[in-house]
Structure 1
């Protein structure tokens, strides 16, 4: 029976810092989601489960054949490998084509076996995935979503007992995401899915959440998880508010007790001076009052100590859950000029639709279309400001492009150096403020880009493009990819507050709904 179980699993970074400690995870059935903030260690835990990293402490029990999908840009992007090569059918195709040309070599017949229609069947499967091309096409010519679907198709076609999927919906359009949900629902083994896609998480049996406090399991889908964590967050706020109120009451009572003690002491001094009562009696009363005050002070100090301890503990917990913030520049609204003019533009692939549209100063555009229709090509053409293809593409202002694969980043440079070198004129204090907003404070700003998670790289890239000097148009190619759910809310809020123009590509319907766009550009016909 397949199973994947960890016991007291811990991982330590090269710096000596513990990324996480004593994690217990038990996968024995069903589909489980896996969520957590960017940088919490989700991908590291996946590497530990796969045996690619060794834990500092703890052990892992693996029973069954494990298949894995990585969120990192595929090696297929930079290679000459064909779809047939990747799917492992090249030899069969070669044999089939040789026989079709008249060869009677027995070796070819042995290679083919029963797979006489391998080419037509494979291309039929590709078409069902939305990859309308032939098997000899080089993988690097496919879009990010098509590459993702191709890799997932091969994974589900293999005989795996356990699947570990690291953000599989990144780059997938609505049709591809639905295909993935259907594949998971039919999968008879065990699956752990790292995802920030709320639609996908609504179809899981349970959710693991990784935080600085450890690993927790929630039985049920995303709606159950969100409801429970929201209740816990509200309860935490109420506890902190109650403790703060209690602290004020203790301080107020202490002040009242001090004033009463001072009044009693003053009255005793007056009585002693008047000589109306024997000195020995007055001294005894004074000693008793001082002992009573001392006991009261000790009790109040203990109350305050307990209160402060609880309050500090809860505020530290709240700090760990504290929402991040992405600060985009404040721009001065100018006249409503035309920033981009596209007329009669046609891409040489996809549905080859004639594109005609303009983007003005105050436009917040959503560029919508399926995988492979040419959205990224259109954005890069706008960035160039001219079209090598039929039609006219004219850009009248400076623009900056955020691509899907972190093309702006140098893996060997620190975060703060990346931000300051790209954003001319940005002061170090301002750079630190921006990085603090996305969760990096003090010396963590010197962390190398190569050590960042996918979501952290995307947040850094977003700061870089949005603070590029004089840029009046943002071209955002799936900026929500890799971001955790909270970070998606943060980015949506930042874009809503942003006064400049942008063209946004995204396949996350929940994220798009959170962003206040005022123009939709269709790359296909409904």
Structure 2
């Protein structure tokens, strides 16, 4: 069992990340921990793992958790065995087999005579055949590093496993191995992920937000269904409050007009009746005080309704607030943008692809580009974009405007502010106020305009990138997305999906996220082998 009681966490600058978090995860539970970027999912997982300590509250676990982090740079100075924390055991085993049977070595080994065999079996399960335990971690790719730590689960056999975005960087085979593990594992699992297929293999969804933890007793599809119901109810509440606000303002206006007419009528009667000047002043002051009190009552009521409406609107998903504005007028559906005839890439007789490639791209197509790591996906993209020439065969490229968007959103210049980045794409000389309108449309308010791009999250960089594309004069003919969902939370993936589905040009997507590929309606697949 894993229990968190009244947990609070403050950043080093004393900013509060979350407060009063309470949750209980029972043995054998399989839990998805989701939430927007910045809500503290990874930090909460680190708290469960004991990597960081809470600012307040207590955490109780009945077993030592095994933690697979999202980032692995801190392990680059270690080898595989050291990163897996089995180097001492392996050294003790080798010394014992060499005849150095000491009490220290026996204590370190702790009768774990199969440790080396288990390590290689575990690495093999994660398609890391031939990987040496002494190999430096810094020589491995992101996907290989993830697989090394996933292999550690079988090696250590923990009762509690904590996974932070485990499907990031994994190819199709790696993801399938992960899904099989999730389904078959008897361990208690807590998983932070935006991979919808993975999330649907888990039994419960815990949503972390600024309001705390909300628990949904089902998989991700169940969660989405419940959120749809909640969203509909929220929309109804907002509509009701908007109607009440309009009614309150109408009543305020009608009451003021009626009071004004009554006061004017009363004044005329008093003048006809010859009421003294002193009495007239007294009556006028009384009328003014009455009007002031009446106005105060209406102002208070309107203010209360407005505040309620404002709070309700804060609960709207960001996808409901965003407004896209791609200008697709220059796109010509069906136009041939690129064709390849028997192309390959390499040197001498060493070619990258087992068979030469023959295909064409037409305007408006949506293509998934697939292949294992090292199959040449990036090379083919560079050939399509004209950054490389094929070693054999012929290509045709129509004059076109293309944009390549990688998972790190490298088109965003970290040295610029949000507003400066937007201005860099202002090739059509939009007015200053129009740039700010576009930034607001993509949820960058006045408080964000001077923020440095280096401080933006993956989701924020993605929104800024989309904003920059709409600031340009025309939509690009081709957009290439290279693993676009890797650094995004679920809501950011939804925003990206909505934007891409409005785009009418040619789309080439390198992604292992099958759910994302389905939602953006990729029509065909090019698979490299």
Show CA shifts across 1:310-369 (max 9, x none).
233323444878544566665622582433525243787998354321223443322134
In the aligned structure 2, how far is the partner of 1:369 from the partner of 1:488?
22
Match of 2:155 in 1: 157
In the aligned structure 1, how far is the partner of 2:122 from the partner of 2:49?
29
In the aligned structure 1, how far is the partner of 2:253 from the partner of 2:115?
92
Residue 306 of structure 1: which of 298, 304, 307 is its match?
304
Q: What is the Cα deviation at residue 9 of structure 1?
A: 0.7
Aligned length: 511
Question: TM-score, with normalisation over the residues of structure 1?
Answer: 0.75
2:368–2:522 contact (8 Å) kept in structure 1: yes
Residues 1:401 and 2:404 aligned together: yes
Provide closer, same or farther for how the CA distance between residues 412 and 72 of structure 1 changes in structure 2, counting only shifts above 3 A.
farther
In the aligned structure 1, how far is the partner of 2:472 from the partner of 2:247?
51
Q: What is the Cα deviation at residue 167 of structure 1?
A: 1.2
Match of 2:8 in 1: 9
1:455–1:481 contact (8 Å) kept in structure 2: no
Shifted more, 135-144 versus 242-251: the winner is 135-144
In the aligned structure 1, how far is the partner of 2:74 from the partner of 2:384?
27
Question: TM-score, with normalisation over the residues of structure 2?
Answer: 0.75
Match of 2:513 in 1: 508
Residue 358 of structure 1: which of 357, 360, 379 is its match?
360
Trace 1:279-298 onto structure 2 (pairs within 5 A). Answer: none
Match of 1:179 in 2: 177
In the aligned structure 1, how far is the partner of 2:122 from the partner of 2:51?
32
Provide closer, same or farther for how the CA distance between residues 369 and 426 of structure 1 changes in structure 2, counting only shifts above 3 A.
farther
Show CA shifts across 1:62-117 (max 9, x none).
553222222236578x8896x78866899999999x9xxxxx96579x99996599
Residue 453 of structure 1: which of 454, 457, 462 is its match?
457
2:35–2:209 contact (8 Å) kept in structure 1: yes
2:7–2:54 contact (8 Å) kept in structure 1: no
2:407–2:487 contact (8 Å) kept in structure 1: no
Match of 1:191 in 2: 189
Residues 1:45 and 2:44 aligned together: yes
Provide closer, same or farther for how the CA distance between residues 256 and 117 of structure 1 changes in structure 2, counting only shifts above 3 A.
closer
Q: What is the Cα deviation at residue 200 of structure 1?
A: 1.7
CA-atom RMSD in angstroms: 5.0
In the aligned structure 2, how far is the partner of 1:41 from the partner of 1:481?
17
Counterpart secondary structure, 1:65: coil
1:11–1:56 contact (8 Å) kept in structure 2: yes
Show CA shifts across 1:403-429 (max 9, x none).
345555676665555666688888776
Show CA shifts across 1:10-45 (max 9, x none).
32463x643333333433431211111223332333
Counterpart secondary structure, 1:19: strand
Residue 208 of structure 1: which of 202, 206, 215 is its match?
206
Counterpart secondary structure, 2:367: strand
Show CA shifts across 1:238-263 (max 9, x none).
22221222233333334444444455
2:403–2:480 contact (8 Å) kept in structure 1: yes
Match of 1:101 in 2: none
Provide closer, same or farther for how the CA distance between residues 62 and 453 of structure 1 changes in structure 2, counting only shifts above 3 A.
farther
Provide closer, same or farther for how the CA distance between residues 453 and 204 of structure 1 changes in structure 2, counting only shifts above 3 A.
same
Uncovered stretches (5+) of structure 1, i.e. residues with no partner: 99-103
Provide closer, same or farther for how the CA distance between residues 67 and 54 of structure 1 changes in structure 2, counting only shifts above 3 A.
same
Residues 1:494 and 2:506 aligned together: no
Match of 1:227 in 2: 225
Match of 1:520 in 2: 525
Shifted more, 212-221 versus 448-457: the winner is 448-457
Shifted more, 306-315 versus 126-135: the winner is 126-135
In the aligned structure 1, how far is the partner of 2:417 from the partner of 2:525?
37
Residues 1:441 and 2:439 aligned together: no
In the aligned structure 1, how far is the partner of 2:140 from the partner of 2:329?
37
2:125–2:151 contact (8 Å) kept in structure 1: no
Match of 2:370 in 1: 368
In the aligned structure 2, how far is the partner of 1:24 from the partner of 1:178?
33
1:349–1:374 contact (8 Å) kept in structure 2: no
